[in-house]
């Protein structure tokens, strides 16, 4: 059974390589947690911007939820209406 993969988002922010790595892990996992490090930001608005940027890069089959300084991503079989 696939588990939850953990990632860390640091001072470089969201890069093309970061998105590609997430896409590759979604081939085997349904859930991914991304911890936002202090070097990235501690601003809640910035974290919401990161969430939207990641979702736009991944597509419509994904949803996200912010819990503290962690973004939890979930992959669905069918596209979700947001």
Q: Given the DSSP bridges, would you call strands 70-75 and 62-67 parallel, antiparallel or unpaired?
A: antiparallel
pLDDT tens, position by position, 8-32: 999 999 999 999 999 999 888 889 9
Mean of the per-residue pLDDT values for the chain?
90
Q: How far is CA 1 from the centre of its chain?
A: 21
Cα Rg, the chain, nearest whole Å: 12
Instruction: Please list, in sequence order, all residues whose beta carbon lies within 8 angstroms of the beta carbon of residue 9, skipping any fewer than 6 positions away.
Output: 18, 34, 35, 36, 37, 40, 50, 71
Cα(22)–Cα(10) distance, integer angstroms: 15
Q: Is the pLDDT of residue 1 over 60?
A: no
**Domains of the chain as residue ranges with CATH:** 4-75 (3.30.110)
């Amino acid at each position: 059974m696939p588990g939850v993969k953990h990632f860390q988002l640091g001072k470089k922010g969201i890069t093309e390589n970061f998105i590609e790595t997430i896409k590759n892990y979604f081939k085997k996992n349904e859930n991914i947690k991304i911890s936002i490090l202090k070097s990235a930001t501690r601003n809640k608005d910035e974290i919401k911007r990161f969430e939207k940027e990641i979702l736009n890069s991944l597509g419509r089959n994904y949803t996200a939820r912010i819990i503290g300084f962690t973004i939890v991503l979930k992959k669905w079989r069918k596209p979700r209406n947001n």
